[in-house]
């Protein structure tokens, strides 16, 4: 089956001709591939990147368990963990995109997981905040990740490979964190 890549967020789609009923019941080639290799499984957010609609949003939700696993760390250790996840993400997302032969498959969402963790960093400084602030982190990160204001869009378009996949989401996380930090400072 031939594949074509499409704009970020919608994933690579098969070029379809008429298919038989039994063929349409079989898993799509990427789904089977993603379920069979650890690189794709991790890069695709443990399957959340396979969502037909808004895979980045579902991938961002996987950032919550990562945040909860790391939030007890002091801020410097949390920042180091985010940096290590970023480096790992550069490799895993680049490898997955290379195996799929696309620039940035919309289902590759490990970058959203790391971006969310970066966005949530200010919550470590203000630990008494409510769960509503986690919702604010989620909304801010998705805002910056989807709209990609300058310079996020610039880097999204100019950088390639695993680093390119990860960097725009790290910037979206950083922009979200800065706004969140300012908001938390105002209300504290």
For 106-121, give the DSSP string: TT--HHHHHHHHHHTT
Mean pLDDT across the stretch 16-41? 58
Residue 25 pLDDT: 41
**pLDDT value of position 29:** 54
Tell me, what's the pLDDT at 18? 40
**Tally of structural domains, the chain:** 1
Mean pLDDT of the chain: 85
The share of the chain scoring above pLDDT 70, in percent, equals: 82
CA distance 52 to 147: 20
In this structure, the number of other CB atoms found within 10 A of the CB of residue 38 comes to 10
Residue 9 in this model has a pLDDT that exceeds 80: no
Beta bridge partners of 14: 3
In sequence order, what are the residues at sequence separation of 6 or more whose Cβ sits closer than 8 angstroms to the Cβ of residue 177? Answer: 118, 119, 120, 121, 122
Number of Cβ atoms within 10 Å of the Cβ of 29:
12
Indicate the range of 34-38, 120-124, 154-158 predicted with least confidence.
34-38
For the segment 158-173, the average pLDDT, to the nearest whole number, is 95
How far is Cα 88 from Cα 50, in angstroms, rounded to an integer? Answer: 21
Q: What is the arithmetic mean of pLDDT over 159-173?
A: 96
- pTM (two decimals): 0.82
* Greater pLDDT, 124 or 126: 124
* Residue 28 DSSP label: P
pLDDT of residue 100: 86
| Cis-peptide into 151, omega within 30 deg | yes
Write down the pLDDT at residue 171: 98
**37 lies in which domain range?**
3-187
Q: How far apart are CA 16 and CA 156, in angstroms?
A: 29
As beta bridge partners, residue 13 has: 4
- 76's tokens: 């410097």
DSSP state of 7: S
Residue 23 pLDDT > 80, yes or no?
Answer: no
For 59, list phi and psi in degrees, rounded to 5: -65, -40
Higher pLDDT, 20 or 111: 111
Report, as an integer, the average pLDDT of 60-86: 96
pLDDT of residue 30: 56
Q: Map residue 108 onto helix, strand or coil.
A: coil
pLDDT in tens, 127-153: 767 889 999 999 999 999 999 999 999
């Amino acid at each position: 089956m031939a594949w074509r890549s499409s704009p970020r967020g919608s994933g690579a789609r098969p070029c379809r001709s008429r298919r038989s009923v039994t063929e349409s019941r079989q898993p799509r080639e990427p789904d089977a591939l993603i379920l069979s290799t650890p690189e794709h499984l991790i890069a695709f957010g443990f399957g959340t990147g396979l969502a037909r609609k808004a895979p980045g949003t579902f991938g961002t939700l996987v950032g919550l368990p990562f945040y909860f696993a790391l939030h007890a760390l002091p801020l410097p250790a949390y920042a180091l963990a985010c940096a290590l996840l970023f480096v790992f993400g550069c490799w895993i997302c680049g490898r997955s995109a290379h195996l799929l032969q696309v620039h940035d498959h919309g289902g590759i969402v490990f970058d959203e997981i790391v971006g969310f963790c970066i966005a949530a960093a200010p919550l470590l400084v203000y630990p008494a905040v409510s769960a509503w602030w986690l919702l604010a982190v989620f909304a801010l990160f998705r805002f910056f990740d989807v709209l990609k204001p300058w310079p996020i869009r610039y880097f999204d378009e100019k950088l390639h490979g695993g680093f390119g996949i990860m960097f725009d989401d790290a910037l979206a996380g950083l922009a979200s964190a800065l706004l969140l930090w300012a908001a938390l400072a105002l209300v504290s």
